[in-house]
Structure 1
Amino acid sequence: MYTQCPECLSVFSVDARTLAQAHGFVMCGHCGASFDCIATLADQLPPEPFNELPSHEPGVEPPRLEAAVYRPKPKPEPAESEATQLRDDFADLIVTPRFARDAHANRPHRWPWVLACLLLLFGLLAQLGWALRDTLIADSTVGPMLQSACNVMQCRLPPVRDVSKLRLLARDVQTHPTVPGALLISATVRNDATFTQPWPVVDIRLSDGNGKTIAMRRLNPYEYLDDVEAMRRGLAPGASTALVFEVEDPGHQAVAFDMEFE
């Protein structure tokens, strides 16, 4: 059998196997065009010379095949009563997926692990909060919240010390009016922090005209405060207080003094 490429008009020989494999569509080996070889399929070539093979017009309707060589027997359908019985048997059947059964079976054993993880998490947060307690209390946002919560629970926050927030507003030194050989030093201190601070340790240094320290005294809060309750409360934020110190007079060489907080 023969067919012709509609593009380059090359004629090729084909067999039934090629037609069946390609379902009638082939590719021209000369120009590469794809075409339906059945449209120009011919058993014999016409006498030469010829240009084109005659084309087959498509049929109006497909040909009907009558000579059957094999026909499988149809499967017998189940009786209506049997089908109804099968539907009734499985109508009330409840199927639970395996993963759902496993999840339901393991659920009672999960809560101890969840509880243990929560306890460990709370313990870790508590340790972290205790390690950063000074920073949290000194924070302008977190500190008041912690103080309010502590007031509700009737507890006391640990004191936070930041001597850089203690402002020395005024200071003065004079001879003690009643104690011979002593000096009376007064100072006004303000707490510029946003939190209550414990009373500071005060360092007093007396120096001569050359700036050399000739006397020094380090005073703890219980040495210059007589009010135990005030010592317990600490120095409130924004509060100012006057401090008075009695120190030994080192003589006429002391012409200047300096005060620092610890």
Structure 2
Amino acid sequence: MYSRCPHCAKQHEVTVEHLRQARGLLDCSVCGKSFDALRFLSEDDDAVLADESPYPDDQISEKRPQTPAVWFVATNLALLLLLAQILYFEDYRLTMQPQLRAGLDKVCAAFACRLPPYKNLEEFSVSHSDLRVQSDSSYLFSALLSNQAPFAQVAPDLKLSVLNFNGEVIAERVFRATEYLLRPTGLAPEQTVEIRLAIVAPAASIGGYTFTLL
């Protein structure tokens, strides 16, 4: 069997198997354009075109099935749009969810975007805290701060309150992360750092202390 290209009139020999695999479409070896081989099929190798009606290229493009690359690009664009909508409407709160953070990190890595630094105070732990008087009558607050999250976290600020023997606050101060960390960029997963803060002794006697992560 034969089929003639309607664009340049080149005759091509075809088989049933070839037509089945190509879904009836052929690429002309002379002009490089695609055409519907079934439309111009004949048994004679020198047959003229049976259909002389216009045969624009856009008709071929509509019939040609989409390639996997097109679907890949379309899928990635859809994912990027979805991520943009999530960050726009939910913003910071949603990116701080540990159940979603790992997936969002992977998506952002693929599209070269940046999520806000992770910070979840519930995933910090403080141990071995102590407030001791020094030889110069000042006080030293010390503690161990651990990041228990599976992600790096921004180091929190710390509010230290000094109490009298009646449990009343007699002095209070917020210490920034830059005041107790040499590199306050954050804590790696499972990292523990030591906090050491020098405190000037208040006029009243100290009966206790409290601290809060901010």
Fold similarity call, TM over 0.5: yes
Matched residue, 2:132: 174
Share of identical aligned residues, percent?
Answer: 22
Matched residue, 2:30: none
**Alpha-carbon RMSD:** 4.3
Shift of 1:120: 7.3
Cα shift readout 1:154-186 (whole Å, capped 9, x = no counterpart): 997541111111111220111134xx3421000
Matched residue, 1:124: 81
Shift of 1:253: 2.7
Matched residue, 1:143: 102
Matched residue, 1:200: 156
**Contact persistence 2:108–2:115 (CA under 8 A):** no
* SS state at 1:211 partner: coil
The one-letter amino acid of 2:189's match is: P
- In structure 2, C-alpha distance between the alignment counterparts of 1:104 and 1:236, rounded to whole Å: 58
Tell me: CA distance 1:175–1:123, structure 2 relative to 1, closer, same or farther (3 Å).
Answer: same
Cα shift readout 1:204-241 (whole Å, capped 9, x = no counterpart): 0011222211110100111222x2xx322x11111112
Match 1:165 to one of 112, 116, 123: 123
* SS state at 1:231 partner: coil
Aligned length: 159
- In structure 1, C-alpha distance between the alignment counterparts of 2:173 and 2:118, rounded to whole Å: 24
The one-letter amino acid of 1:143's match is: A
The one-letter amino acid of 1:256's match is: G
Does residue 261 (structure 1) correspond to residue 198 (structure 2)? The answer is: no
Tell me: CA distance 1:153–1:103, structure 2 relative to 1, closer, same or farther (3 Å).
Answer: closer
Matched residue, 1:104: 59
What TM-score, normalized to structure 1? 0.47
**Contact persistence 1:205–1:216 (CA under 8 A):** yes
What TM-score, normalized to structure 2? 0.56
Matched residue, 2:140: 184
Shift of 1:136: 4.3
Tell me: CA distance 1:184–1:126, structure 2 relative to 1, closer, same or farther (3 Å).
Answer: same
Bigger helix fraction = 1
- In structure 2, C-alpha distance between the alignment counterparts of 1:174 and 1:252, rounded to whole Å: 15
Tell me: CA distance 1:148–1:171, structure 2 relative to 1, closer, same or farther (3 Å).
Answer: farther
Match 1:239 to one of 166, 191, 195: 191
* SS state at 2:188 partner: coil
- In structure 1, C-alpha distance between the alignment counterparts of 2:149 and 2:162, rounded to whole Å: 29
Shift of 1:94: 3.6
Cα shift readout 1:239-258 (whole Å, capped 9, x = no counterpart): 11211011121145321101
Tell me: CA distance 1:261–1:93, structure 2 relative to 1, closer, same or farther (3 Å).
Answer: same
**Contact persistence 1:172–1:186 (CA under 8 A):** yes
**Contact persistence 1:196–1:236 (CA under 8 A):** yes
